[in-house]
Structure 1
Amino acid sequence: MFDPVEILRQPLTFPFSGRTAKNRFLKSAMSERLATFSTFDPCGRGQPTKELVRLYETWAKGDIGIIITGNIQIKKDHLEATGNTIIDRDLPSHYLQEWTDVARAAKSEGSLVIGQLNHPGRQVSINIQPYPEAPSDVEQPSTGGVLFGRPTPLTREGIKDIVHRFAYAASVLHKAGFDGVQLHVAHGYLLSQFLARRTNRRNDEYGGSLVNRARILLEIIAAIRQAVQNLSFIISVKLNSQDSVPEGLSIEESITVAKLLESARVDFIEVSGGTYEQTTRSPQDKPYTVETREGYFVQYAEFLRPHLNLSKIVVTGGFQTAQGMADAVSRGAADIIGLARPLTAEPLLVRDILRGEKKKAKGDKFPESPMLRFAASAAQIAEIGNGQDITDFDNAFHVARFIAKMQKEIPAAISEALFSRPS
C-alpha cells in the first residue's frame, strides 16, 4: 500500500512555462462575489476588496500548490453574478494595486496563483444585462428562478474585441504578480458556448467545424502571449468533458479540443462538465463517470490521458479522501487534484492532509441538491472573507437553519432544489 501523503506532496513542473507547483493540490475557481458592485453605475463594479484579500490569505495558509481565483469578468456590464471581480479596459481604473494585494496574499506561503478569466455570454441574469451577447441568438432557459435575455450574436468585430479584452485582463494580472491565467471554457459560459453546436449556429469562420468553433479560444491564447510577453506565464484552461445536453460538446470533441490546446502550449487542462441547463449527472453521463471511485471526471481523464504528451491534467469534483486523491495521481489519471467546496468548509484541509492530521474532507448533511451546496459554499466564502467562524454544515441543525433562511429569501428556487432529484 502506497503512502498517499508522499504522492500528494510531490512537486510538479509544467511543460511550457517551466513553473513548479509545490504539491499536487489545486484550489479550483469558485465565484467569491466579494467585489464592489453598483446597480446603476457600472464603473463602481468589480474592485477587489479587503474581504477578498483576507479570503486568499486564508487559503494561502492551507499550503495549496496552486490557487485559482474565482471567475474574473472581462466586461463590466456582462457578469456571471453581482459582486464579481472585473478587469475591463473601459473602467476608469484596472485596480492594479488591489490585484497586487490579492496576488501577494495568495502567494504568501509559496502557492502559485492563477486568475480565472471569464465572460458569461448568454448566462447573465436579465437583471444585470437584459441584452447579452453570445455566438448565436439561442436563449438560455430559466434556471433556478433566474431569467435570461435573448442574446445578440457577436459580430466579427465583437469577437475581436472579446479576444483583446481577455488579453488585456491577463496583462493586468501579470503586472500584479499573478503566475498565470485560466480561461473558463466550461459550464456553459461564452467560450463554452462557442464550442457547442447547441449554442453556436454561426456559418462564418467561428462556426461549423469544431476547429472553427474553437477558433476564438486559440486566438485568445495567442493574444495573451502577445500581450504578456513572458514565457513563464502559465496559461491553463477549464474544459468541459462533455456538456450533457443535446448538441452539446461531446466527449470526443472535448478530447480534440484538448489536443488543440496542447498544440497551443497550454500548461494544464482542468476537466469539468455540465452547464446551467444540466447541473446534475444524468444516465447519459454514466459511461464517463465512476461510481466506485472518487472523482466525477476521473474516467474522462483516463480517456484523455493517451491523447496528451505534455499538458498536465487536473481533475476537480467528488474527491473526499486522501487515499482516493492519491489513487487518481498514482494511476496517472490526474496530475493534480482540484478541490473547491471542501476548501470553503475547511480552508486548511490540504495542509492538514499533507501533515497526516486528516485523511478525508468534512461531509455535510444537505439533501442531494447542487443548488443548496453552491449556496452554502458561497455563504462560507463570505464568512472567511469577513473573518467570521465558518458554519459547519456537517451539523444537521446548521443545515436546517440555513435551508429555512434560504427558503425565506428565495423560496421558489430553494423549493425546486429541495424537491427535485437527479434522474
Structure 2
Amino acid sequence: MNDSNKDRDEPCPPLDLDSCHKIFTPITLPSGSVINNRLVKVALYEHLSDLFGGPPNAVHYDLYSQWSRGQWGMIITGNVQICGDHITLGRDVVIPTSLTAESLQPFKLLAKAIHGDADHPSSTASSEGNVDSCLTIMQLSHPGRQSPNIIGGRWPFVPPIAPSAVPVGQAHRKSDTIFSRLLHSFAFQIPREIPERDIPALVDAFVRVRRWRQRAVLMEWNCRQHMVVNLIAQFISPKSNHRADAYSASTNSLHFLHDIVSSIRACEIIPANFVLGVKLNAADYVDSSQDRNKTDELQEQERLALQHVREIASWRMVDFIEISGGDYESPDFMSPAQSAQSQRQALFSRFSQKAVQTLAENSLNIDSSPAAGPRGTPLILLTGGLRSLPLFTSVLANKHADLLGLRMSVLCPELPRQLRASIRARENGAEDTSFMESPPDPDVSGLGSPLPLSEPLLSWRRLERVILSVFLCIWSIVPWSSRDSSVLARNMAWHTVMLRNVAVGTEVDYTVGGLGAVLRFWFWVTPGSDGGLLDGVWESWIAMGLVGVVIGLVVGSW
C-alpha cells in the first residue's frame, strides 16, 4: 500500500459491525423496485467494441458475467451511444439504427450475462443460486462536442453537434503551447450549434419511444439511466451553452433533460416500475478557467448544484440521482493554494451530503401539481473516492448518500460477495483486515511496478520496458503543456486494459505502467471480427495512428 493511500485512510472512524450491516440492507426506489444492497458497479469506460462503434461482443459478456458473480446491488453499463456518428475513442457500444430481433440479440445476451442466466455461455449462475438478482442499467450517452475528429464516427473534419459553437478546451488555449493548440484544433472541430427545431429529434434519439416496447421485452433490461454528462451536461453548463432561446443555460438549463425524462414517462407502453436515473458531475459546476479559490464563489456553485437537485426531484419522475466527479476521501480542499481539480473535489465532498439533506427537508413540499409525476423523493448515489470499508460505512452512517457507487469493480469485480464474507469472518472473531485500506494506485507516470525476479532476462516484457523507457524520454521533451491531461489519459487507459484482464479472469497487473497501458489500449483486436484477423490488425493499426491525436485530450479536465 502506498503512503498516499494510507494518509487518506487515517481520518476514517473505527469500524462498526452494525454500520457494516447497513451496506447489505435492501432499499426501495421510488418506482417500487428493490435494490438488494447499497453497492453499485458504476459506469466505466470500456473501449471493447468494434472500431467506429458496434454492439456488445464476447468480451462484454465475459466481463459482465464476472461482475454478476460479485452480487452487486445494481450494475450500470459503460456508455452506450445513441448515435453512431457521435462516439468517443472509436470503440463504443452503439444502439443500432434499426431495432430488429437480430440487431438487438447482442444486447439481450449482455442482459443475460449480467443476470447470470444459466443459458448464457458466460453465465456464473449455479444450482445453489449464488448470484443475487440485481438491477441492470443501460447508461445512454451522446458525447456532443467531445466527439473527436476521425474516430468520432463522422467523416474527417465534419464537426459534431453541441448546444453552442464552443470547442473543447477553449478556456485553456491561451496558456497552451503552439503544439498543443494545433493538436487540439485537429482533434476537435468547432462544433455546430443544434438548431432549436432539431432538438425534438435529438430527444427522440434518446427516448426511442415508439420502439421501446420491442427493445425492453426483447433485451430483458429492467431499467436504464440517462447520463447527465457530455451533451446533456453541455446544455446545463453556461460554459458550453451560450444559446439565447428556450434552451439557454441562463434561463432554463434543465430544459433539455426535462424534455427527455418527461417524454419517457409520458409513454404509456413503458411500465410503471421502469427505473430512471440521472447523473450530476461536480466538475460541471466549476469553471477551471477562472480563479475559483474564493469561498463565496464555491458556495454559489454549490447553491446552483443543489437547485438542480431540487428541481429534478420536483419532477417526481426520477428514481435516483448519481453525484460524481470528486473525491470523498479528501474533503478539505478549501485552501486557495489548491488547483481547480481540488476545487471540484471541495464542491463534491459537501454536495452529496447537502443533496441528501435538501431532499429530506423538501420531501413533503415536492411539487404535487398535475405536471409532476407520481414518484417520491429520488435516492442519492455517490460515486467517487470510495475505496475502503471504513469509508463505505461512514458515508451511510452520516447520511451522505443512499447508495455507494464504486469504481473498484475493476480491481475487485467480486467486491460485494467478498466484503460480505469478510464481515461475517469478523463477527466470528477472525482478525480479517480486508478492505480496511484503499487498494494501491497504479504507476501511470512511469513503467509500472518492478517485474518479478522470476521473469526471464531476455523476455518480451523486459524488452518492452527498454522501448517504453525511450518513449518516456521523448515524451518528456515534447512541448505539450497539459501534463495533467496526459496523466489522466494514461490512468483511463490502464483501467481499461485491466477491464480486459477481468473479462478473462486474470488478476490486475501492476507491472503495467501508464505508457504500456496506452499501447495495449490501442494495440487491441476485437475478438471474433467479421473480417478475420487481418481486418482486426488493420483496425488496431488505424487506431494506433490516431494515438497522437487523442491521447490526453478527450479524458482530462476539459
State TM-score, norm by structure 1: 0.83
1:359-398 matched pairs, under 5 angstroms: 359-360=435-436, 361-366=438-443, 369-385=487-503, 387=504, 389-393=506-510, 397-398=511-512
Specify which of 275, 293, 301 is matched with residue 250 of structure 1: 301
Query: Once the 2 structures are TM-superposed, how far is the Cα of residue 35 of structure 1 from its aligned partner?
Result: 2.2
Q: Which residue of 1 aligns with 2:35?
A: 21
**Which moved further from structure 2: 243-252 or 225-234?**
243-252
**Which moved further from structure 2: 406-415 or 20-29?**
406-415
Specify which of 337, 343, 348 is matched with residue 297 of structure 1: 348
Alignment pair present for 1:126 and 2:149 = yes
Q: Give the Cα–Cα distance (whole angstroms) in 1 for the partners of residues 551 and 147 of structure 2.
A: 22
Is the Cα–Cα contact under 8 Å of residues 55 and 96 in structure 2 kept in the other structure? no
State which structure, 1 or 2, has the greater radius of gyration over its C-alpha atoms.
2
Q: Do the aligned partners of residues 322 and 259 (structure 1) sit closer, same or farther apart at CA in structure 2, a change above 3 Å counting? A: same
Alignment pair present for 1:233 and 2:274 = yes
Name the SS for the 1:206 alignment partner: coil
Alignment pair present for 1:269 and 2:277 = no
Name the SS for the 1:29 alignment partner: coil
Q: Give the Cα–Cα distance (whole angstroms) in 2 for the partners of residues 404 and 49 of structure 1.
A: 22
State TM-score, norm by structure 2: 0.64
Q: Which amino acid aligns with 2:241?
A: N
Gaps in structure 1 of 5+ consecutive residues = 39-44, 275-280, 291-295
Is the Cα–Cα contact under 8 Å of residues 223 and 276 in structure 2 kept in the other structure? yes
Q: Give the Cα–Cα distance (whole angstroms) in 1 for the partners of residues 36 and 357 of structure 2.
A: 25
Query: Once the 2 structures are TM-superposed, how far is the Cα of residue 400 of structure 1 from its aligned partner?
Result: 7.2
Alignment pair present for 1:335 and 2:402 = yes
Q: Which residue of 1 aligns with 2:167?
A: 139
Q: Which amino acid aligns with 2:246?
A: E
Name the SS for the 1:69 alignment partner: strand
Query: Once the 2 structures are TM-superposed, how far is the Cα of residue 84 of structure 1 from its aligned partner?
Result: 0.9
Q: Which amino acid aligns with 1:112?
A: L
Q: Give the Cα–Cα distance (whole angstroms) in 2 for the partners of residues 185 and 272 of structure 1.
A: 11
Q: Give the Cα–Cα distance (whole angstroms) in 2 for the partners of residues 400 and 73 of structure 1.
A: 27
Q: Give the Cα–Cα distance (whole angstroms) in 2 for the partners of residues 107 and 223 of structure 1.
A: 28
Alignment pair present for 1:115 and 2:142 = no
Q: How many pairs were matched up?
A: 393
Is the Cα–Cα contact under 8 Å of residues 366 and 372 in structure 1 kept in the other structure? no
Task: Output one character per residue of 1:17-48: Cα deviation in whole Å (capped at 9) or x when no partner.
Answer: 1111110011111122222335xxxxxx4211
Q: Give the Cα–Cα distance (whole angstroms) in 2 for the partners of residues 63 and 205 of structure 1.
A: 44
Name the SS for the 1:95 alignment partner: helix
Gaps in structure 2 of 5+ consecutive residues = 1-14, 117-130, 173-179, 291-299, 327-332, 364-376, 423-431, 446-486, 524-543
Query: Once the 2 structures are TM-superposed, how far is the Cα of residue 384 of structure 1 from its aligned partner?
Result: 2.8
Name the SS for the 2:140 alignment partner: strand
Q: Do the aligned partners of residues 106 and 416 (structure 1) sit closer, same or farther apart at CA in structure 2, a change above 3 Å counting? A: closer
Q: Do the aligned partners of residues 14 and 411 (structure 1) sit closer, same or farther apart at CA in structure 2, a change above 3 Å counting? A: closer
Q: Which residue of 2 aligns with 1:191?
A: 232
Query: Once the 2 structures are TM-superposed, how far is the Cα of residue 246 of structure 1 from its aligned partner?
Result: 5.3
Q: Which amino acid aligns with 2:220?
A: G
Q: Do the aligned partners of residues 125 and 95 (structure 1) sit closer, same or farther apart at CA in structure 2, a change above 3 Å counting? A: same
Q: Which residue of 2 aligns with 1:9?
A: 24
Q: Which residue of 2 aligns with 1:72?
A: 80
Q: Which residue of 2 aligns with 1:293?
A: none
Q: Which residue of 1 aligns with 2:225?
A: 182
Q: Which residue of 2 aligns with 1:41?
A: none
Query: Once the 2 structures are TM-superposed, how far is the Cα of residue 413 of structure 1 from its aligned partner?
Result: 8.4
Name the SS for the 2:380 alignment partner: strand
Task: Output one character per residue of 1:185-226: Cα deviation in whole Å (capped at 9) or x when no partner.
Answer: 13xx1000000111111111011435x221110110111223
Is the Cα–Cα contact under 8 Å of residues 269 and 312 in structure 1 kept in the other structure? yes
1:27-106 matched pairs, under 5 angstroms: 27-38=41-52, 45-89=53-97, 95-106=103-114
Query: Once the 2 structures are TM-superposed, how far is the Cα of residue 323 of structure 1 from its aligned partner?
Result: 1.2
Query: Once the 2 structures are TM-superposed, how far is the Cα of residue 229 of structure 1 from its aligned partner?
Result: 1.9
Identity among equivalent positions (%) equals 25
Task: Output one character per residue of 1:250-301: Cα deviation in whole Å (capped at 9) or x when no partner.
Answer: 3322211211221222111111238xxxxxx9535656646xxxxx934211
Q: Do the aligned partners of residues 365 and 80 (structure 1) sit closer, same or farther apart at CA in structure 2, a change above 3 Å counting? A: closer
Q: Which amino acid aligns with 1:56?
A: Y
Is the Cα–Cα contact under 8 Å of residues 490 and 515 in structure 2 kept in the other structure? no
Q: Do the aligned partners of residues 286 and 345 (structure 1) sit closer, same or farther apart at CA in structure 2, a change above 3 Å counting? A: closer
Q: Give the Cα–Cα distance (whole angstroms) in 1 for the partners of residues 501 and 77 of structure 2.
A: 17
Specify which of 348, 351, 354 is matched with residue 420 of structure 2: 354
Q: Do the aligned partners of residues 14 and 298 (structure 1) sit closer, same or farther apart at CA in structure 2, a change above 3 Å counting? A: farther
Query: Once the 2 structures are TM-superposed, how far is the Cα of residue 346 of structure 1 from its aligned partner?
Result: 1.7
Specify which of 203, 227, 242 is matched with residue 201 of structure 1: 242
Q: Give the Cα–Cα distance (whole angstroms) in 1 for the partners of residues 518 and 94 of structure 2.
A: 32
Name the SS for the 2:278 alignment partner: strand
Q: Which amino acid aligns with 1:140?
A: V
Specify which of 357, 371, 386 is matched with residue 306 of structure 1: 357
Task: Output one character per residue of 1:80-115: Cα deviation in whole Å (capped at 9) or x when no partner.
Answer: 221211114457778322111111211223111001
Q: Which amino acid aligns with 2:264?
A: I
Q: Give the Cα–Cα distance (whole angstroms) in 2 for the partners of residues 305 and 107 of structure 1.
A: 30
Is the Cα–Cα contact under 8 Å of residues 325 and 384 in structure 2 kept in the other structure? no
